[in-house]
Chains A and B, each alone.
Chain A
Amino acid sequence: MSTLTTWLRDPNPASRMQSRLGQSYLSWLRLRRNPLAMIGLLITAALLFVAIFAPLLAPHDPITQELGRRLLPPGTPGNILGTDDFGRDILSRILYGSRITLYIVLLVILTAPVVGLIIGTVAGYFGGWVDTILMRITDIFLAFPKLILALALVAVLGPGMENAVLAIALTSWPPYARVSRAETLTVRSSDYIAAVKLQGAGPIRIIWGHVIPMCLPSVIIRVTLDMAGVILTAAGLGFLGLGVQPPLPEWGLMISAGRKFLFEQWWVATMPGLAIFIVSLGFNLLGDGLRDVLDPKSASK
């Protein structure tokens, strides 16, 4: 272990790889000093773990109905968190539901920030009419409330998980475009960009290799902070019946189903609600911690 840390802390790394890992190690040390961020990381890791091992962890099948065991309260032997109106084990459904949540989150992460990053950096770097056109498009998307726009899109595309993801991605890229454009504007006039321009680099190389690395930290921070919102939007769509379709165990859908018995059988809606709450909190805490580590203004000086 100690040889690994000395290798990581080597001031004169022997390869790109070692140098990059060394920097990551220092960031990790900084992150580790923030207890709240570590809690966030723990929750996110737990989500990942649960999603991967759901079949092993879940005591029951999430979809098989058992009408004889309807609406059992939490603490019932065999159903720790109780059962829903079809006699399905709520714990098992939540555990399996984490897979859907994670799937949605990952798909959104892979699309919205990438689109936003490209649009924002291109607009910021070129300026002029390119900037005007791209930013007005961004403004149009920003002008609509996110959930309403997602609703409209799903209504056109038809309900379903993939369409929900598409709708969420299409509505959540504009903030990333704004963030990366702002970052690009400050980077664009810097000496290191002037230097690489002077070496004859074209705009694609400059944007990809020099501007995007500077925008990435703020976008990553924004992504982790937005994840809670994405989960909530997905849950919202599920709740309204426009996202994931029954009988899949999506958390928002579960809340929606439990609404009918909210006063008598409170646990049916509350348990998935708690799951959404905890996971959102985890992403938020992690994002806050990452801000301290990745922020180019606080680091590297």
Chain B
Amino acid sequence: MLIEIENLSVTFTAQGRHVRAVEGVSLNVKAQESFGLVGESGSGKSTILRAICGLAPISGGSIRINGKPITHDRAFSRKVQMVFQDPYASLHPRHTIDRTLSEPLAIHGLPLTDAAITKALTDVGLPPNFRFRYPHQLSGGQRQRVAIARALMLQPEILLLDEPTSALDASVQAETLNLLSRLRTERGLTFLMVSHDLAVIDHMCDRILVMQHGKAVEELTREALATAQMQTPYARSLFAASADRMLEG
């Protein structure tokens, strides 16, 4: 198993109040697998990704990668990277694309060449002459491509995807999902993807964990989802609400 999450709990403390965002969630992801987390807002699905990255306080349980408990050091950042939901908020508004893409290389003291930046851009389907643009000179889809390119600069094994297409238009969503699928096969990446859209999760993931109120509700394979074989009433109601996303719809 590449990623093993056992009994994970995340508790946020704000002004003396404790809010349990994730309670006792366990999941395993094999290398080169694509695993989906699905649920409604407040279900804690994004919090799990943030906890893996050290951006949310873990109050219980453990996260292991390659059998070793995670440490948030530089080696970790060369193994795990994340793509955020809102491409308008995840790129620094006052840095050029060039700066955004070269930053990870500079942090890790890797050779910074023009060719590396150009290749990163062309790999995600952006023309090289976008290099010195600012984020506000790009469309939402183009920004998300830059965010994906940035996440891949350090050539990680694992890509955490937090609703990577929910802020994008349908046609741009299709292009971005295609890009992600292509990169995954080309580079043998492991995906842990969060979405509220069952159709997107179904298209991208092999196994799916349905979450509600911070707890794991049900784990489904792709086949079980397509044939509506869920056991719990919540997973069933979520599926029913997405009925218009079925193949024959």
Contacts and interface: CB of A to CB of B under 8 A. Distances in A.
Contacts, number: 88
B96 A19 contact: yes
A200 to B, nearest CB: 4
A192 B92 contact: yes
Contacts of A16: 96, 98-99, 132
A214 B147 CA distance: 19
Contact of A205 (B93, B99, B107, B130): B107
Nearest to A214: B94
Contacts of B136: 300-301
B134 A12 contact: no
A210 B81 CA distance: 19
A172 B137 CA distance: 37
A200 B82 CA distance: 12
Interface in A7-40: 11-16, 18-19, 23
A199 B103 contact: yes
B129 A12 contact: yes
B97 to A, nearest CB: 9
A201 B103 contact: yes
A191 interface: yes
What is the size category of the interface that chain A forms with chain B?
Answer: 20 to 34
B94 A199 contact: no
B66 interface: no
B51 to A, nearest CB: 13
A197 B107 CA distance: 10
A197 B55 contact: yes
Contact of A12 (B85, B89, B95, B130): B130
B121 to A, nearest CB: 12
Nearest to B92: A192
A12 B129 CA distance: 6
Interface string A192-228: 1011111111000100011001100000000000000
Given A194-B53, A200-B73, 13 more contacts: A12-B127, A13-B132, A16-B98, A191-B89, A195-B84, A196-B103, A198-B55, A199-B81, A199-B103, A200-B77, A201-B107, A205-B107, A213-B95
Interface of A: 11-16, 18-19, 23, 190-192, 194-201, 205, 209-210, 213-214, 296, 300-301
